Copies of this chain bind each other. A is one copy, B any other.
Amino acid sequence: MTALEIRLRIIFTNPKQFRCFHPSQSSIQNPNTMEPEQQLSQETSKKAAKKEAAKAEKLRRRQEAAAASNAASGVAGVSIEELDPLAANYGDIPIKDIQSSVVSGQVWTTVSSLTDELKDQTVLIRGRAQAIRAVGKKMAFLTVREKGFTVQCVLTVAPDLVSTQMVKYATAISKESFVDIEGVVTVPPEAIKGASQQVEVQVRKIHCVNRAATVLPINVEDASRSEVEIEKALEAGEQLVRVNQDTRLNYRILDMRTPANQGIFRLECQVSNLFRQFLLNEDFVEINTPKLTAGTSEGGAAVFKLEYKKQPACLAQSPQLHKQMAICGDFGCVFIVGPVFRAEDSYTHRHLCEFTGLDAEFEIKEHYSEVMDIVDRLFVGMFDKLNERCQKELEAIGKQYPFQPLKYLRKTLRLTFEEGIQMLKDAGVEVDPLGDLNTETERTLGKLVLEKYGTEFYILHRYPLAVRPFYTMPCPDNDAYSNSFDVFIRGEEIISGAQRVHVPELLESRAKECGIDVKTISTYIDSFRYGAPPHGGFGVGLERVVMLFCALDNIRKTSLFPRDPRRLEP
């Protein structure tokens, strides 16, 4: 295509058309003119030719788009004088070029890998235009973000490299749009404050891949701000935007993009991965248990009911019954990672209607301490590895939500429930020695334990039988207590575990004592009639582990799309 042809196209082209996407509209190559026989014969040469044609077509479209950008940047029509010879270096990429037209072989560099090692090299990056700032008409700064990492890109007008039209084009890009930037890596003498990467990219080409709406419901920079920053600014007389929890969740797609949230969910991924890898190394089998169940799950209230092919059904409140059945089925040691459903009306900082359960169950030989041993090794190892491997993530989280690293011992502290009650009593806290602890008392005990033993992670065991589920094994010496335990981080419960009742007669009588209609769980109880080993296990709330490891104040911060009694969207 000659320069004249380009000019003619500009005059006859509505620039908006280049954001028009329907493939048939802007298709140049008419498939009807191609002979189908030809398509099947001589495959290789045809493919090569096709690739060439596609490349040529792509170039043509880029030029066309660039020309259109020129046109768009003019106020009314485009004069020949305004035509920019560098037009092909910027503009919106036509949809066809990202609709699987061609495999160009181009290589994109990730933003996180932009370091001074790449000094003077030309790189191609794709990311979001997080912030754009013009300095007069001849310079602009553009912060590009990819997966929470940011780099400062600089446009400076220079002959044969960057035109004023290009700077104008760049500064008009809406925030959060996706851009492809080609440029040269430079290392500025001073530290860069507004970006994670300590290099700059001197822009040579900039193309918009896909534009964001010009008005966004929340600004990612606002959502990334810490309370400390907001308060400091306020002291200095500046009122910064504070994005509240509900707004964040309503526009989770935008909120998710903050460095802290990128860190939180990458950390969460590591928690479940470390849980899995530890147990797989210990010869556990990961199984999948059904979430749709007949009857009423574990017999309690707070289940979501539904109709299943004209039968009454409900969503499993936990994989408890099925994981025990798998133990009766000879798997020895199993674990499950999956959603659990609680129709509770709790609207607290630590309850969700749907969360991710990390569940383990296994044969034990003699004592529920075997279960606590696994929990101890698993979590101490996990905390070590999180601190070691997730430094970047923890840093990003801490920057917005400052916290102290978790204090834990090499060998996890174990206190009996009675010992815990005594500590509370000694501190003047009145508690029912055979009742459950409430959130407040748990926190107080957490503080007492931290003072006395120097740990924020400990196990409380031998809980009163009355406050545990029917399948919990009573203590051998005193059936007011049970072979069970809870585990706490920073004074809040994250794990419940126990030895289970493996004798069907006892299981049945315990269920009855707990007011459960045994008919609704008969397949479960029957499982123990065909020979069952002594066994135990535990369940962990994934979101709670992450929340408490990072001392976050609300479980909604660690659930990607939280579900609570009032929230079913997005």
Q: How far apart are the CA atoms of A532 and B325 in the complex, in Å?
A: 45
Cβ B210 vs Cβ A328 within 8 A: no
Q: B330 to A257, Cβ gap below 8 A?
A: yes
A282 at the interface (CB under 8 A from B): no
**Nearest-Cβ distance from residue A167 to partner chain B, whole angstroms:** 21
> A532 → chain B, closest Cβ, in Å?
6
**A142-190: which residues lie under 8 A (CB-CB) from chain B?**
145-148, 174, 176-178
Indicate if the CB atoms of B209 and A533 lie closer than 8 Å. yes
Binds B, one of A291-299, A445-453, A548-556: A291-299
**Which residues on the B side are within 8 Å of A530 (C-beta)?**
176, 212-213, 216-217, 251, 253-254
Which of A308, A325, A366, A530: most chain B Cβ within 10 A?
A530
Closest chain B residue, CB of each to CB of A314: B306
The answer to whether B354 touches A532 (Cβ under 8 A) is: no
Q: Is the CB of B366 within 8 A of A102?
A: yes
Bound CA–CA A329/B71 (angstroms): 32
A313 within 8 A of B: yes
- Give the distance to chain B from A508, nearest Cβ to Cβ, in Å: 11
Q: Mark A526-555, 1 if CB is under 8 A from B, else 0.
A: 110111111000000010000000000000
A236 at the interface (CB under 8 A from B): no
Within the complex, the shortest CB–CB distance from A543 to chain B, in Å, comes to: 8
- Give A67 Cβ to nearest chain B Cβ, in Å: 20
Smallest CB separation, A529 vs chain B (Å): 5
Interface string of A16-35 (1 = CB under 8 A from B): 00000111100101010000
Residue from the list B126, B276, B503, B542 in contact with A533, Cβ < 8 A:
B126
Within 8 A of B (CB), among A263-281: 265-266, 268-269, 272-273, 276, 280
> Which residues from chain B contact A345 at a C-beta distance below 8 Å?
309
Q: Complex formed: what's the CA distance from A377 to B178 in Å?
A: 28
- A328-387, CB < 8 A from B: 328-332, 337-339, 341, 343, 345, 353-354, 356, 363, 365-369
Asked whether A490 is an interface residue with its Cβ less than 8 Å from the other chain, the reply is no
| Cβ 8 A contact of A367, one of B21, B102, B285, B290 | B102
Q: Which residues of B contact A341 (CB under 8 A)?
A: 291-292
CB of A529 within 8 A of CB of B331, answer: no
A210 shortest CB reach to chain B, Å: 6
Q: Given A147-B331, A272-B286, A287-B560, answer yes or no on A292-B99 (Cβ-Cβ < 8 Å).
A: no
Is the Cβ of B126 less than 8 Å from the Cβ of A479? Answer: no
- Picked from B106, B363, B524, the residue with its CB within 8 Å of the CB of A365 is B106
Is A211's CB within 8 Å of the partner chain B? Answer: yes
A72 within 8 A of B: no
Contact A313-B532, Cβ < 8 Å, known A146-B332, A329-B253, A354-B292: no
Within 8 Å by CB of A304, from B306, B330, B338, lies B306
Q: Which of B176, B211, B280, B422 contacts A40 (CB 8 A)?
A: B422
| A531-B178 contact given A27-B477, A308-B304, A477-B31, CB 8 Å threshold | yes
Chain B nearest CB, measured from A551 CB (Å)? 21
Inter-subunit contact A147/B330 (CB<8 Å): yes
B-facing residues in A28-59 (Cβ within 8 Å): 29, 31, 39-40
Give A477-501 as 1s and 0s: 1 = Cβ < 8 Å from B's Cβ atoms.
1110001000000000000000100
Contact of A23 among B100, B363, B474 (CB under 8 A): B474
Q: How far apart sit A569 and B499, CA to CA, in the bound complex (Å)?
A: 25
Within the complex, which residue of B265, B476, B529, B565 is in contact with A100, where a contact is CB–CB below 8 Å?
A: B476
A77 at the interface (CB under 8 A from B): no
Q: Once the chains are docked, how many angstroms separate the CA of A285 from the CA of B419?
A: 42
B24, B27, B332, B367: the one within 8 Å of A103 (CB): B367
Nearest CB in chain B to that of A39: its residue: B418
A326 at the interface (CB under 8 A from B): yes
Q: Is the CB of B212 within 8 A of A529?
A: yes
Are A23 and B479 in contact, CB atoms less than 8 angstroms apart? Answer: yes
Chain A to chain B: the 10 pairs with minimum beta-carbon distance, closest first: A256-B329, A212-B531, A306-B306, A176-B531, A523-B570, A100-B367, A99-B476, A257-B330, A98-B534, A31-B478
Residue pairs across A and B with Cβ atoms less than 8 A apart, 22 shown, are: A21-B503, A31-B477, A96-B476, A98-B365, A100-B473, A146-B332, A148-B330, A177-B531, A178-B533, A210-B532, A251-B530, A253-B328, A254-B329, A255-B329, A256-B329, A268-B288, A269-B286, A288-B339, A292-B304, A292-B563, A304-B306, A305-B307
Which residues does A use to contact B, with CB under 8 Å? 21-24, 27, 29, 31, 39-40, 95-104, 106, 108, 126, 128, 145-148, 174, 176-178, 209-213, 216-217, 251-257, 261-262, 265-266, 268-269, 272-273, 276, 280, 285-294, 304-309, 311, 313, 315, 322, 325-326, 328-332, 337-339, 341, 343, 345, 353-354, 356, 363, 365-369, 418-419, 422, 473-479, 483, 499, 502-503, 505-506, 523-524, 526-527, 529-534, 542, 559-561, 563, 565-566, 568-570
- 11 additional contacts (CB under 8 A) given A147-B330, A148-B330, A210-B531: A99-B473, A101-B367, A103-B366, A178-B531, A209-B534, A257-B330, A265-B287, A265-B331, A266-B285, A269-B287, A288-B542
